[in-house]
Amino acid sequence: MTHSSQQTSSEGANPLRSTVAVVRRGWLVVLLITAICGGAAFTFSVLQEPIYRSTASLYVTSGSEANAQSAYQGSLASQQRVTSYTKLVSSEAVVGDALERSGLNISMADAKAAVTASTTPDTVLLNISVEDSNKAMAADLANAIADSMTTYVSTLETPSGGGAPLAKMTVVTPAGESSNAISPQIFRNTLLAVAVGLLLGLVVVFFRDRYNNRVRGEQDLSAVAKSPVLASVPTDELLKKQGLIDFRTGATLAAEAYRKLRTNLAFTSVDNPSRRIIVTSALPAEGKTTTAMNLAAALAETGKRVVLVDADLRRPQVYHRTGGMGDVGFTNYLKGDGSMADLLQPSEVSGLQILASGPQPPNPAELLGSKKAGQGIENLSAMFDYVIIDSPPLLPVTDAAVLAQWADGVVLVARANQSRVPDIGAAIEQLEAVQATLMGVVLTDVPTTGGAYKYGYYYTSSDVVKKPKFWSRIGKKKAHQHQNIEVALEPTTTNAS
């Protein structure tokens, strides 16, 4: 089992690890949504006009020292009155009198909306607050309403027959201009938006992961195919440009993946090795032609005689990727224009020859299903150790399914984060319908960040030349000992008398 398959299996077994894996795959989406929410909240808060609050505090007393029976009864009566006074603060009588006294240029509706009243529990204090973008106006209006309340309560609490008021209000703390705005609270709003963005990002990531039907790794591919994953080919920009790997240059990640594919194919049927292999995919642009080319080159690397057949008669790709001629090839043989041996073209890979597609026919499926096509592949099988056939994708056309009757097995290719699980399942159903042998699946374009390709085990020429200091010291010591032995064995010369 490969490192990546072990990883995905452990993710499925451990819910916590699976959750972490989902977040790790979607961390960029989470970060982006969080940044957008936080940035939007910060920008909105900064652009808001600051609001200032000014508060005046008033003390309420009931009765007087002459007619008060006790301090307790007076305090209790004051507390009961304070609750009622909070409703009077925003009355038109109080607010209108305050505006008339202060001469502030503000409407009655705006003034009533800006003022609030509150009480401190178990006290006789009444707080009058005004909120406005103009700090000076907020203070002036709060003081004007406080003065108006003292007059209004005095008038209201005076008995109809005259005499001293039953309750009075005294301003104990006048309102002043506030230097700090109460809103917007930029830090709080930004922090709250970041938290909401983080939660929303996680919801999006888990929702996408739940309903995402793309093949993300070996576990997804093997689950739908119910066949072994023969190889996972990592993303390689050089591979995308050239298509065919030069296996003589060393052990790159992609080269090792195709060597692994070659090795695993040999173990799929040990008693009856498959020598005629079709490479196909569910849909176009999933890496089937690149896989066929490099599988053929990897087999030729072992000294085997290999022929690569371009049987994609609709959109041939092999000939121009390998530098051959596309107008002479398989369809020429099918029309009877020559033998297979006459139509083969050499390649830059030793031991690998190419059979191009030839002129494009109007009926590819009929030609590939003909007995002459089967006889041609049989002839190639007699001439070469391996016949690797690049065929069209399975779902758009039936060519690959028709061609499968002339092969020993089929290798199905899928591209990571592009191929969809239902498409893979439909392609396999087509192969099963024609009783084709699915040897295994190959996953291409696998991201190299983490997973199976996190660790390298390759040497460069500089690694071979450079030796660890420990072994260098041992080498120097042995050399010195060897030199001493040679000196000891050297004959001594004496002067003859």
Q: Give the residue-averaged pLDDT of 13-42.
A: 86
Torsion of CA 14, 20, 23, 24, to 10 degrees: -110
Q: What is the pLDDT of residue 21?
A: 77
Whether 43 and 63 map to the same domain: the answer is no
186 with 42: CB under 8 angstroms? yes
Q: Give the residue-averaged pLDDT of 152-173.
A: 85
* pLDDT higher at 76 or 240: 240
Whether 40 and 66 map to the same domain: the answer is no
Q: What is the pLDDT of residue 74?
A: 52
- Phi, psi values for residue 170, rounded to 5°: -130, 130
Q: Which two tokens stand for residue 421?
A: 């699980």
- DSSP for 208-257, written as a single string: HHHH--B--SHHHHHHHH-S-EEEEEEP-HHHHHH-S--GGG---HHHHH
Q: 150-159, 272-281, 303-312, 370-379: which range is least confident on average? A: 150-159
148 exposed, middle or buried (CB, 10 Å; 0-12, 13-18, 19+)?
buried
Whether 198 and 327 map to the same domain: the answer is no
- Phi, psi values for residue 114, rounded to 5°: -85, -20
Q: What is the pLDDT of residue 39?
A: 96
Q: Give the residue-averaged pLDDT of 263-271.
A: 86
Whether 155 and 235 map to the same domain: the answer is no
* CA 22/CA 296 separation, integer angstroms: 36
486, part of any domain: no
Whether 42 and 68 map to the same domain: the answer is no
Q: How confident is the model at residue 148 (pLDDT cuts 50, 70, 90)?
A: very high
264, part of any domain: yes
* Residues ≥6 apart with Cβ < 8 Å to 348: 244, 322, 323
Q: What is the pLDDT of residue 364?
A: 94
* CA 60/CA 127 separation, integer angstroms: 11
144 with 85: CB under 8 angstroms? no
Q: 60-64, 271-275, 400-404: which range is least confident on average? A: 60-64
* CA 96/CA 451 separation, integer angstroms: 74
- DSSP for 256-275, written as a single string: HHHHHHHHHHHHHSSSS---
pLDDT greater than 80 at residue 475: no
Q: Give the residue-averaged pLDDT of 81-97.
A: 89
* Residues ≥6 apart with Cβ < 8 Å to 371: none
Whether 286 and 375 map to the same domain: the answer is yes
Whether 267 and 414 map to the same domain: the answer is yes
434, part of any domain: yes
CATH number at residue 337: 3.40.50.300
Whether 92 and 197 map to the same domain: the answer is no
Domain range enclosing 162: 52-173
* CA 257/CA 19 separation, integer angstroms: 29
Q: CA of 217: how far to CAs of 214, 302, 452, in Å?
A: 9, 29, 10
Whole-structure pTM value: 0.61
315: number of Cβ within 10 Å = 13
The residue ranges of DSSP E strands in 363-437, in sequence order, are: 386-390, 409-415
Torsion of CA 243, 420, 429, 393, to 10 degrees: -30
Cα 143 → chain centroid: 58
CA gyration radius, the chain: 44
Q: How confident is the model at residue 14 (pLDDT cuts 50, 70, 90)?
A: low
* CA 62/CA 373 separation, integer angstroms: 113
Q: Which amino acid is at 25?
A: R
Q: Which two tokens stand for residue 480?
A: 């010195």
* CA 119/CA 126 separation, integer angstroms: 5
Residue found under tokens 């699946």: 441
Q: What is the pLDDT of residue 211?
A: 80
* Residues ≥6 apart with Cβ < 8 Å to 277: 265, 295, 386, 387, 388, 389, 407, 408, 409, 410, 411, 439
Domain boundary among the residues 416, 435, 453 is at 453
Whether 97 and 157 map to the same domain: the answer is yes
Domain boundary among the residues 195, 211, 227 is at 211
- Mapped onto helix, strand or coil, the DSSP state of residue 117 is strand
Q: CA of 422: how far to CAs of 207, 230, 332, in Å?
A: 19, 20, 37
Q: What is the pLDDT of residue 202?
A: 93
Q: Give the residue-averaged pLDDT of 38-66.
A: 87
* CA 323/CA 169 separation, integer angstroms: 101
Summary mean pLDDT of the chain = 83
Total H helices, total E strands in the chain: 21, 12
Q: How confident is the model at residue 231 (pLDDT cuts 50, 70, 90)?
A: very high
495, part of any domain: no
- What whole-number percentage of the chain has pLDDT above 70? 84
Q: How confident is the model at residue 223 (pLDDT cuts 50, 70, 90)?
A: confident
Q: What is the pLDDT of residue 474?
A: 40
357 with 335: CB under 8 angstroms? no
* pLDDT higher at 352 or 485: 352
Whether 300 and 355 map to the same domain: the answer is yes
**Per the structure, how many domains does the chain have?**
3
pLDDT greater than 60 at residue 226: yes
Q: Give the residue-averaged pLDDT of 196-200.
A: 95
342: number of Cβ within 10 Å = 10
Q: 76-80, 145-149, 289-293: which range is least confident on average? A: 76-80
CATH number at residue 59: 3.30.70.1130
- Phi, psi values for residue 112, rounded to 5°: -65, -35
180, part of any domain: no
Whether 345 and 228 map to the same domain: the answer is yes
410 with 205: CB under 8 angstroms? no
User: How, if at all, do strands 345-346 and 306-310 pair?
Assistant: unpaired
Q: What is the pLDDT of residue 161?
A: 76
Q: How confident is the model at residue 176 (pLDDT cuts 50, 70, 90)?
A: very high
Rounded (to 5) percent helix, strand, coil in the chain = 50, 15, 35
User: How, if at all, do strands 276-281 and 386-390 pair?
Assistant: parallel
* CA 178/CA 32 separation, integer angstroms: 38
483, part of any domain: no
463, part of any domain: no
Q: Which of 151-155, 317-321, 334-338, 402-406 has the highest mean pLDDT?
A: 402-406
Whether 40 and 162 map to the same domain: the answer is no
464, part of any domain: no
Q: Which two tokens stand for residue 211?
A: 């309903």
